[in-house]
Amino acid sequence: MWTNPLTIALVAASAAILGSLLTIFLTPWLQRHFWRKQRRDELKLAAINEFNRLTSEFIVGFLDAPDTHKPTAQWFTDFGVVGANIHALFSGQAAEALNKVTAMIGPRLGPEGKQTSDDFINARNAALRALYQEVVPLA
């Protein structure tokens, strides 16, 4: 029965039709899925780059005047935007790493005034590592 040429032709035609229908319906869904993932990763990388730029700007200003450095209002606005994006796009663990850096922003690197620029850089690097880990898994 299975060797009948008509049966073979019907099975082949059915498989071709089924394959075509699956392609028609699954391709747009898969494209959208991967496009959304790519776009989300692009947004995450942009937030990471802006965070890195702002923290580097802060540490350079701090090293120039450790006792009197105070970022501008625009800097605080930009840092707030980046912080909101990180809290929205990343996991709680990455956001917690950001909070540790945020707590150090102020005169003499935080309320206690006992942290050094190295402490700030280490906290920033830990935050960057946590953020990048969610976009590009690091070894």
For residue 1, pLDDT over 70 is answered with no
What is the value of pTM for the model shown?
A: 0.78
Residue 5 lies in a domain: no
Is 9 among the domain residues? no
Distance CA 82, CA 99 (A): 12
Domain membership flag for residue 7: no
Instruction: Determine phi and psi for 29, rounding to 5 degrees.
Output: -65, -45
Q: What total number of domains does the chain contain?
A: 1
Within-domain flag for 86: yes
SS3 121: helix
- Does residue 12 belong to any structural domain of this protein? no
**pLDDT at 112 (0 to 100):** 62
pLDDT for residue 111 is more than 60: no
Q: Is the pLDDT of residue 115 over 90?
A: no
Say what percent of the chain tops pLDDT 70: 91
Mean pLDDT of the chain: 87
Is residue 119 a part of any domain in this protein?
Answer: yes
Tokens of 74: 């625009």
Structural domain for 93, as ranges:
38-135
Q: DSSP E strands: which ranges in the chain?
A: none
Evaluate whether residue 109 is within a structural domain. Answer: yes
**Residue 112 domain flag:** yes
